[in-house]
Amino acid sequence: MDEEKPPPNQGQFRMPDPALVSRTMSEVAERGQRIVSDFLKRQSEEGGGNASADPLNIGSAFLEMTTRMMANPAHLVQAQLGFWQDYLTLWQNTARRMMGDQVDPVISEDPRDRRFKDEAWRENEVFDFIRQSYLLSARFCQNLAGSVDGLDEKTAQKVDFYTRQFVDAMSPSNFLMTNPEVLRRTAETGGENLLKGLSHLLADLDRGKGKLRIRMTDDAKFRVGENIAVSPGKVVFQNDLMQLIQYAPTTETVLKRPLLVFPPWINKFYILDLRPKNSFVRWATEQGHTVFMASWVNPDESLADKGFDDYMRDGVYAALDAIEKATGEKEVNAIGYCLGGTLLATTLAHMTAKKDDRVKTATYFVTMTDFEQAGELGVFIDEEQLGALEDKMQKRGYLEGREMATTFNMLRANDLIWSFVVNNYLMGQDPFPFDLLYWNDDSTRMPAKMHSFYLRRMYQQNDLVKPGGIEMLGEPIDLRKIKVPTYMISTREDHIAPWKSTYRGTQIYGGPVRFVLAASGHIAGVVNPPEGGKYSHWINEQLPPDPDGWFAGATELAGSWWPDWQRWITAQSKERVPARVPGSGALPAIEDAPGSYVKVMATD
């Protein structure tokens, strides 16, 4: 009798569980039908059929680039010859490697590029060829798009940005058949990773009601007020726009001047109170500050007519009045984070005009006031896009939080989009529970009137930096008249508020200014507790007009910038008083921190 032969590939490629296949296909049919039905219904209700085919106004930018490129065919031919010469060298090197020779790579990725971290990208000749051919093509596309003469700055920036988006999307790491890590996983699981990835994809489409909303973290693991945003305190004041939280003291005496923090209302405040070990709120109370935090409302259509001046009146001014009632103190130290810092600076200029001197020091976390060089966010600020955005906001009364989050994620697409596509859909892995990504996904809306004003008058027209260019609550705004001591912290890898743009504030404010530059980006560089021992910072007492000149003369110091800020803030006033208990003053406690406003989720 012939010996029974094992099934083909047994032990090499495991077949998926038939029950899992059946269950997944059933889910695809049921869930897919519902998603498509819901999506078409929403499109019909929102008039999606009348939407522009090019809402981001990309086509005209690339048409202009192509026209100018073709006007100089010699430059195009020269670039193509260089590209094909590199490609030929790569072919030759690959052939030599297959014959056992050692050869140097024609091109290497940035050491920080995590897409090609798997060793198979270098050890296997085929995947090494795929990797290098992609890198050569990416460099060719970006160099060609960036070398076209005659484009205005805005068009050139848009072409560069969307060329990079295309190049990133085409990375071989994003596709099953060209990613060795995914192929290995598929062989190990018998394809169950792809079935599970399909389930993840359907769930994310369901979550976004027909639009892909990639799940970045296991959000079931987090509860605001239970395991994040847990610093004890009380809400002592609230109005339509804000709840004001007073945190419980952790020292017997506290600095006489309370500390008032204004986070951006683009995101929620608890980035400054994620967990005790990285909470700025916890750390500040341990340094003896009575911390008050503005927790902004997540607006709906009823707040569509709230403007920037409302955030001044019902935010900064209302908080100052409430703190005086709660503590008896008129003088405060104030912090503004990103858009919250822009609000603080605008209000301080208004207060100067009104001879209101209650804010004695101003600290700005990664804050722009001069928007002339706003970085890559400027790609989204042109007349066509603003008009389309305003039409959309007019119908809803607000900007959907998910749309703002997608814009920010595009600035770091490989880290915040494509890495999750690979992990969730190709590798079939569940998202890792990560508090920072949970916060990042907890998006907030923006009132239509306020957001239109912010984008047009500040980003597009840069009126805030012009003396009297903006009028608020009956007063012309002139940032140059602000005389309070100012501390500015920016971060070197910030994609949202580029540090060379924020540095311009050092040449605007009329009082003494200290500028500090931290390593890392918009969030990690700011939320960097001393205990973590991460990320250095640079200091320079001189403030030359040119940011590069400042950096050339700066001294790099290890670790967090928080202690430097504490030394600076206490140098302004060291007077201490007995610790204040939230709710014990003229303002009784309304509810426990973190309050109810922060728990309102944005829904798409």
Q: Which residues are catalytic?
A: 338
Other residues' Cβ atoms within 10 Å of the Cβ of residue 71: 12
Tokens read off for 560: 């967090």
Rounded CA-CA distance 338/394 in Å is 25
Rounded CA-CA distance 406/416 in Å is 9
DSSP 295-340: EE----GGGTT--HHHHIIIIIIHHHHHHHHHHS---EEEEEETHH
Residues 6+ apart with CB under 8 A from 2: none
Rounded CA-CA distance 563/557 in Å is 12
Rounded CA-CA distance 229/104 in Å is 51
Rounded CA-CA distance 265/597 in Å is 12
Residue corresponding to tokens 């690979």: 422
Q: Check if the beta carbon of residue 516 is closer than 8 Å to that of residue 559.
A: no
DSSP state of 103: -
Residue 492: helix, strand or coil by DSSP? coil
Q: Check if the beta carbon of residue 528 is closer than 8 Å to that of residue 560.
A: yes
The beta-carbon contacts of 450-457 under 8 Å, at least 24 apart in sequence, are 450/306, 450/307, 450/308, 450/310, 450/311, 451/393, 451/398, 451/399, 452/386, 452/389, 452/390, 452/393, 453/307, 453/308, 454/308, 454/339, 455/381, 455/386, 455/389, 456/386
Burial of 528 (0-12, 13-18, 19+ CB in 10 A): buried
Bridge partners (DSSP) listed for residue 490: 517
> Measured on CA atoms in the order 347, 352, 353, 358, is the torsion positive or negative?
positive
Alpha helices in 328-464 (DSSP H): 339-353, 383-396, 401-410, 413, 419-420, 435-441, 448-453
Residue 212 C-beta-side C-alpha neighbours within 13 Å: 13
Cα 4 to the chain's mean position, in Å? 60
- Whether the upstream peptide bond of residue 433 has omega within 30° of 0, thus cis, is no
Burial of 486 (0-12, 13-18, 19+ CB in 10 A): buried
Residues 6+ apart with CB under 8 A from 545: 507
| Residue from 604, 563, 592, 480 nearest 225 by CA | 592
